[in-house]
């Protein structure tokens, strides 16, 4: 009977391998969680609104107004979503015909672009980034644009931490005008703010940008993101978004986070994390079990290890939870490490030194 019920689900869902979120993989409250690119430092807010018997605004006006001031765009160019993940899904829902249209996905990168397309039964054209540089393979992309409605690019890229060359992004926008949308996921852009593409929204009608409060703003727990684009695209997305996507508590906290004082605190936190990243990279480069440390412009580092599996498992057993990237395109023996507090980083380095000594590196 159970198998008969399961067969009622769509064929593509029966065969789907779901996205493995950091919390679903493991780690306890007592662990040092360096696997989800969250802020290691919490921020404390108290709800100002206490009454919840009425539905919230679909698009909270005061929240959009504050975010428009923060990024210097008009309110008509902003859609508030449940994290950037909902923006990924809405774009597919609004612009892609199931079993006919396609997205372009450029691994190694954030897997939810692929998973969201699979859930919606959309074709996926996988065009890996160039090995060792992780830059876009523009000639290959240009040869595969037929049937493509959306191209997802993460910048800085997750999990590699590199920036996509701005000239390549502009070339991509030019080659796809009138044909498909280029979606640039800027979840980590606060760690390198001068590299945002928001200034190009006025020039390219096919540009869409995804943002979130989960990373630099230290609000992963409230699930609040933003989709930025031309008003026509935003209005199209409003047709398919749920009636009440942003709860009153989420809007309340997000509004507080976007006040001038708290934006400055966010920038101070980013400066501290960037300094922690520099310190951690320098220390990792002198540890014998480390094969290579890659340049990062985000709040995480990609590291290639000798005996990577044993290192990953050893640290896990000691409560230091990292993210294994070995199965991804061109990331053999790689582990992604979120930047922790200075104390957490010290403990990580200490355990890696012990591992190196015990395994005679």
Q: For the structural domain made of 61-259, what CATH number should be given? A: 3.40.640.10
Q: Cα separation of 98 and 123, whole Å?
A: 8
Backbone torsions φ then ψ of 267, nearest 5 degrees: -65, -35
pLDDT tens for residues 297-326?
999 999 999 999 999 999 999 999 999 999
pLDDT at 144: 98
Provide the CB-side half-sphere exposure for 221 (13 A, CA).
Answer: 10
pLDDT at 30: 66
pLDDT at 343: 96
The segment(s) of the chain belonging to CATH 3.90.1150.10 are 25-40+262-358
Nearest one of 182, 191, 117, 126 to 158, comparing CA atoms: 191
CATH of 25-40+262-358, one of 3.30.360.10, 3.40.50.300, 3.90.1150.10, 3.40.50.10800: 3.90.1150.10
pLDDT at 196: 98
pLDDT at 254: 98
pLDDT at 243: 95
Those residues with Cβ within 8 angstroms of residue 158's Cβ, 6 or more apart along the chain or in another chain: 37, 109, 110, 187, 188, 298, 300
The segment(s) of the chain belonging to CATH 3.40.640.10 are 61-259
Q: Cα separation of 206 and 350, whole Å?
A: 48
Nearest one of 293, 281, 218 to 253, comparing CA atoms: 218
pLDDT at 322: 96
Output the six-digit token pair for 329: 């395109």
**Residue numbers in the chain where pLDDT is lower than 70:** 1-2, 26-30, 360
pLDDT tens for residues 45-62?
999 999 999 999 999 999
How far is the CA of 305 from the CAs of 208, 281, 311, 348, in angstroms? Answer: 36, 13, 8, 14
């Amino acid at each position: 009977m159970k198998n008969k019920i399961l067969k009622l689900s769509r064929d593509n869902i029966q065969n789907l391998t779901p996205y493995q979120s950091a919390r679903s993989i493991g780690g306890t409250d007592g662990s040092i969680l360096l696997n989800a690119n969250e802020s290691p430092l919490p921020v404390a807010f108290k709800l100002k609104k206490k009454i919840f018997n009425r539905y919230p605004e679909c698009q909270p006006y005061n929240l959009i107004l504050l975010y428009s001031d923060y990024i210097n765009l008009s309110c008509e160019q902003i859609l508030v979503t449940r994290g950037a993940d909902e923006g990924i899904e809405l774009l597919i829902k609004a612009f892609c015909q199931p079993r006919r249209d396609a997205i372009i996905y450029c691994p190694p990168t954030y897997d939810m672009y692929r998973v969201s397309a699979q859930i919606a039964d959309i074709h996926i054209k996988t065009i890996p980034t160039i090995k060792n540089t992780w830059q876009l393979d523009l000639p290959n992309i240009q040869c595969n644009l037929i049937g493509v409605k959306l191209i997802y690019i993460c910048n800085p890229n997750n999990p590699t931490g590199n920036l996509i060359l701005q000239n390549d992004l502009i070339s991509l926008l030019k080659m796809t005008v009138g044909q498909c949308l280029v979606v640039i996921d800027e979840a980590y852009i606060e760690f390198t703010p001068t590299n945002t593409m928001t200034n190009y929204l006025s020039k390219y009608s096919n540009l869409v940008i995804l943002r979130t409060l989960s990373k630099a703003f230290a609000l992963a727990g409230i699930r609040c993101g933003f989709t930025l684009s031309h008003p026509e695209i935003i209005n199209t997305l409003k047709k398919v978004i749920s009636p009440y996507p942003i709860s009153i508590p989420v809007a309340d906290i997000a509004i507080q986070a976007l006040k001038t004082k708290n934006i400055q605190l966010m920038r101070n936190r980013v400066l501290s994390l960037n300094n922690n990243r520099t310190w951690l990279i320098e220390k990792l480069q002198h540890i014998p079990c480390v094969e290579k440390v890659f340049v990062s412009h985000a709040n995480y580092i990609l590291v290639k290890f000798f005996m990577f599996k044993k290192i990953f498992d050893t640290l896990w057993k000691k409560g230091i939870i990292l993210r294994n990237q070995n199965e991804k395109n061109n990331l053999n023996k790689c582990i992604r490490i979120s930047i922790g507090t200075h104390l957490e980083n010290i403990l990580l380095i200490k355990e890696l030194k012990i591992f190196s000594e015990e395994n005679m590196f």
